[in-house]
């Protein structure tokens, strides 16, 4: 057992609770938040791979003292390898996901602390609580535990929106909660059906039951459970029909909050998709449904982004649209496509955070989000404009950056899987994404300054620029050396494909 595995979840929860209690003591809140945010990426880097059983209740097969006294009938049965405890699994894929999530959390926390006059302990509480919840979702091998943290992450996201002070944020947060009131219980119902059919909530045990013939994996109830899990997955990630509310959530949070929320969405998307594929890889319909909703998310997200008159909403829709690429990787179901999808998830979390922070500087300087009211910002901040443009290039898939590598691999995987149409669609939608981004960039930076435009601030906090530079550097490094990320996915993919 590795004690650092639970620390990855417990530390941000403890930090969150302390920050909430310390709200009002500005220096202490700032120091504690930064210290823990720095520690977060270090822990997964230091932790060894392994499994953690909460309460120490390891399977009988791993407990030689108890196993020695057991009759042969137990040793030869399914009970011998049964997982009685909530189990967390930390492998190489989990390491890269958690490092990236923690880096985005650190940069979002750092930016938030420097962009406001007084740091808010409550806001920091929500950021850390959300991070802890998504970390648990990535680590857990227990589907009920996953559901609990899924709900905590959703509540933290609502809280981040409520703390933003953006116009009509309360309305959007309430809508998200009410829609969640339909979607999340469906996920729980799916978990309940799986528990009823297999007598278990441990994902490895459920998969074992299905693959070894202990239960009939083709029964309608199993398939119903898969439909409900997919529905929960759509809600957690923001694919249609949840794309409208998810993009609204992004647009009603502060830029650093949006950067973090989309990272939550990306890693929840990945973790849930892995669980669904582990259980239902044998059902082709599951994979085609994943492809369908991912494609719908890409087309609707990017089409809707084109028609927005609010910058934050436009980026929100683009973020939702980009998630579709990851889903296509999973849906195609080949080793190459899943690897490319996982790589796209890592890249997406990084670059969308950078774009949210970049466009957030426009709101910081002007206090406006309608491109009609903004223009000519290139004259004030040419360096920052360069960083924003660079992040747009990266998101669209311009070489030699990381998104180029992952999108290229996705297109190649689609062609190899015998579905070149998906490759064509991905190319088409990447071009439109680039066009959408350039339209926003032109409106804000290159268009002549509108009469009467007043700047609320002529400078941007250094921490924001630092965060963008760090994210772009990571994107460049992963673009030049993609194996730094992709080599971590091999073991995970081998366990997914039957």
Partner 1 sequence: MNFYDEIINRIRKVTGERGEGESNISVSAALTAEITFISAVLIAAVMLRKLNFILMVIAVLLLAAVLLTSFPLSARLRTEQGDGFSTMIFYVLLTLGILVSIFYWGGAGV
Q: Which of 38, 42, 45, 285 binds partner 1 (CB under 8 A)?
A: 285
Question: Which range touches partner 1 (CB under 8 A), out of 83-91, 102-110, 150-158, 415-423?
Answer: 415-423
- Tell me if 412 contacts partner 1 by CB under 8 A: no
Burial class from Cβ neighbours inside 10 Å (0-12, 13-18, 19+) for residue 473 reads: exposed
Of residues 77-116, which lie at the interface with partner 1 (CB under 8 A)? none
Complex with partner 1: residue 125 or 293, whichever CB lies closer: 293
Complex with partner 1: residue 25 or 211, whichever CB lies closer: 211
- Using DSSP's 3-state secondary structure scheme, residue 85 falls into coil
- Tell me if 206 contacts partner 1 by CB under 8 A: no
- Tell me if 453 contacts partner 1 by CB under 8 A: no
- Tell me if 272 contacts partner 1 by CB under 8 A: no
Nearest to 363 by CA among 469, 258, 263, 455: 455
- Using DSSP's 3-state secondary structure scheme, residue 217 falls into coil
Of residues 148-177, which lie at the interface with partner 1 (CB under 8 A)? 172, 175
Contacts of 77 (CB under 8 A, 6+ apart): none
Buried b vs exposed e over 186-211: b needs ≥16 C-beta within 10 Å? bbbbbbbbbeebbebbbbbbbbbbbe
Distance of CA 290 to the CA centre of its chain: 17
**Count of residues near partner 1 by CB under 8 A:** 54
Sign of the dihedral through C-alpha 327, 328, 333, 334 = negative
Q: How long, in residues, is the chain? A: 498
- Tell me if 302 contacts partner 1 by CB under 8 A: yes
- Tell me if 376 contacts partner 1 by CB under 8 A: no
The four Cα atoms 320, 283, 223, 343 give a dihedral, to 10 degrees, of: -30
- Tell me if 192 contacts partner 1 by CB under 8 A: no
Question: Which range touches partner 1 (CB under 8 A), out of 1-9, 134-142, 335-343, 436-444?
Answer: 436-444
Complex with partner 1: residue 15 or 229, whichever CB lies closer: 229
Nearest to 343 by CA among 404, 425, 415, 275: 404
Structure tokens at 288: 């085609």
- Tell me if 439 contacts partner 1 by CB under 8 A: yes
Rounded distance between C-alpha atoms, residue 16 and residue 129, angstroms? 6
- Tell me if 258 contacts partner 1 by CB under 8 A: no
Nearest to 9 by CA among 140, 187, 191, 203: 140
- Tell me if 432 contacts partner 1 by CB under 8 A: yes
> Least distance in Å: CB of 423 to partner 1?
10
Contacts of 450 (CB under 8 A, 6+ apart): 372, 373, 374, 375, 376
- Tell me if 329 contacts partner 1 by CB under 8 A: no
Question: Which range touches partner 1 (CB under 8 A), out of 95-103, 120-128, 142-150, 425-433?
Answer: 425-433
- Tell me if 282 contacts partner 1 by CB under 8 A: yes
Quickly list DSSP for 348-377. Answer: HHHHHHHHHHHHHHHHHHHS---GGG---G
Question: Which range touches partner 1 (CB under 8 A), out of 25-33, 69-77, 432-440, 456-464?
Answer: 432-440
- Tell me if 300 contacts partner 1 by CB under 8 A: yes
Looking at the DSSP assignment, which residues form a beta bridge with residue 202? Answer: 142
- Tell me if 303 contacts partner 1 by CB under 8 A: yes
- Tell me if 436 contacts partner 1 by CB under 8 A: yes
Question: Which range touches partner 1 (CB under 8 A), out of 107-115, 142-150, 292-300, 487-495?
Answer: 292-300
Q: Please give the DSSP secondary-structure letter assigned to residue 463.
A: H
> Least distance in Å: CB of 221 to partner 1?
8
> Least distance in Å: CB of 185 to partner 1?
11
For Cα atoms 290, 474, 361, give the angle at the middle one, nearest 5 degrees.
90
- Tell me if 72 contacts partner 1 by CB under 8 A: no
Complex with partner 1: residue 289 or 403, whichever CB lies closer: 289
The four Cα atoms 263, 268, 269, 275 give a dihedral, to 10 degrees, of: 150
471 touches 107 (CB < 8 A): yes
Task: Give the binding site for partner 1 (CB under 8 A).
Answer: 172, 175, 178-179, 182-183, 186, 217-218, 220, 223-224, 226-228, 230-231, 234, 240-245, 248, 282-285, 289, 295, 298-300, 302-304, 306-307, 309, 372, 419, 421-422, 424-425, 428-429, 432, 435-436, 439, 442-443
């Amino acid at each position: 057992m590795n004690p650092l595995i639970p620390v990855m979840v417990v530390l941000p929860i403890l930090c969150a609770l302390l920050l909430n209690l310390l709200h009002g003591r500005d220096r202490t809140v700032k120091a504690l938040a930064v210290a823990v945010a720095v520690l977060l990426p270090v822990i997964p880097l230091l932790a060894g791979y392994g499994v953690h059983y909460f309460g120490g209740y390891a399977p009988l097969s791993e407990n030689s003292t108890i196993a020695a006294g057991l009759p042969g009938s137990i040793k030869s049965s399914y009970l011998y390898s049964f997982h009685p405890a909530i189990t967390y699994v930390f492998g190489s894929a989990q390491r890269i996901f958690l490092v990236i999530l923690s880096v985005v959390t650190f940069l979002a926390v750092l930016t938030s602390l420097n962009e406001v006059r007084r740091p808010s302990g409550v806001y920091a509480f929500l950021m850390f609580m959300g991070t802890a919840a998504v970390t648990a979702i990535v680590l857990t091998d227990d589907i009920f535990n996953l559901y609990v943290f899924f709900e905590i992450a959703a509540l933290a996201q609502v809280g981040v929106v409520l703390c933003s002070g953006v116009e009509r944020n309360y309305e959007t947060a309430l809508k998200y909660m009410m829609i969640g009131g339909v979607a999340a219980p469906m996920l729980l119902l799916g978990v309940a059906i799986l528990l009823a059919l297999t007598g278990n909530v441990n994902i490895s045990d459920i998969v074992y039951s299905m693959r070894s013939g202990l239960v009939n994996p083709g029964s309608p109830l199993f398939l119903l459970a898969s439909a409900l899990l997919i529905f929960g997955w759509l809600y957690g990630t923001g694919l249609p029909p949840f794309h409208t509310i998810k993009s609204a959530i992004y647009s009603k949070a502060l830029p650093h909050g949006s950067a973090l929320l989309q990272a939550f969405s990306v890693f929840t998307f990945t973790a849930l998709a892995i669980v669904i594929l582990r259980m239902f890889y044998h059902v082709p319909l599951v994979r085609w449904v994943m492809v369908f909703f991912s494609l719908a998310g890409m087309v609707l997200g990017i089409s809707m982004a084109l028609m927005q008159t609010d910058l934050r909403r436009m980026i929100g829709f683009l973020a939702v649209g980009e998630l579709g690429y990851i889903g296509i990787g999973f849906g195609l179901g080949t080793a190459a496509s899943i690897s490319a999808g996982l790589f796209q998830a890592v890249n997406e979390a990084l670059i969308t955070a950078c774009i949210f922070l970049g466009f957030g500087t426009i709101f910081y300087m002007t206090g406006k989000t309608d491109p009609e009211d903004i223009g000519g910002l290139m004259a004030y901040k040419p360096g920052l404009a360069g960083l924003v443009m660079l992040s747009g290039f990266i998101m669209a898939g311009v070489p030699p950056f990381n998104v180029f590598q992952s999108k290229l691999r996705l297109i190649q995987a689609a062609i190899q899987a015998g579905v070149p149409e998906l490759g064509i669609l991905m190319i088409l939608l990447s071009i439109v994404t680039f066009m959408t981004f350039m339209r926003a960039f032109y409106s804000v930076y290159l268009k002549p300054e509108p009469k009467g435009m007043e700047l609320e601030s002529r400078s941007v906090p250094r921490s924001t620029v630092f965060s963008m530079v760090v994210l772009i550097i990571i994107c460049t490094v992963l673009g030049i050396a993609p194996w730094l990320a992709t080599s971590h996915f091999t073991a995970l993919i081998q366990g997914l494909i039957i």
